[in-house]
Amino acid sequence: MTNPPILTAFLRRAALLLAAVVLLSTTASAQSDGTVVGRVSDGGTGNSLQGAIVRVVGLPITDYSRADGRFTLAGVPAGAQRIQIDYVGLDSVTLSVTVAGGAIVTVNTALQSQVLKLQAFTVAESLRGQAQAINRQKTASGIVNILSEEKFSNNIGGNIGFTL
């Protein structure tokens, strides 16, 4: 059974209208989101921090800082947002940013630790190595076990067998 010409023309117009609505809503959605990029570093040393957890508060948008400390949060809704950065052994930081649709916002932050500032230098450095090892282990994609090199410096007579 064939459709009458009027019904066929109506169905074509409805399909075109539906396609236009979908295209416009997709474009509008893409323009209403922005991107937050940046670098996380250690405020005590200036070194990049790998494995810091960076997230948009209240949204399921999360990234982990790479070896160079850089991160990217894509698809962040436009408007005022709060970015939280966590790293084991350093104080958590929450920053307020304003994201514009289609724009890139840069957030660079140096994390500090009130606990590490109160301890002796030699203790603070061993804690930094352990914190880095814990963060790498925590954010690894598989099952790994990472030890800080400070653990190997305390072995008996330089024999790694005693440490293992």
Q: Give dist(CA 73, CA 141) in Å, integer.
A: 19
Q: What is the pLDDT of residues 88-136, one digit of tens each?
A: 989 999 999 999 999 999 999 999 987 655 545 555 555 677 777 788 7
Question: Residue 110 domain-assigned?
Answer: yes
- Note the pLDDT of residue 111: 94
Where does 41-120 have alpha helices with state H? 114-118
Residue with tokens 């930094």: 128
Q: Residue 106 sits in a domain of what CATH number?
A: 2.60.40.1120
Question: Residue 96 domain-assigned?
Answer: yes
Picking from 47-56, 59-68, 127-136, which range would have the lowest pLDDT averaged per residue? Answer: 127-136
What are the backbone angles phi and psi of residue 71, rounded to the nearest 5°?
-140, 165
Residue with tokens 């209240």: 58
Question: Residue 12 domain-assigned?
Answer: no
The number of folded domains in the chain is 1
Parent domain of 132: 33-163
Question: Residue 9 domain-assigned?
Answer: no
Question: Residue 14 domain-assigned?
Answer: no
Q: What is the pLDDT of residues 88-100, one digit of tens each?
A: 989 999 999 999 9
- Residue 76, pLDDT > 50, answer yes
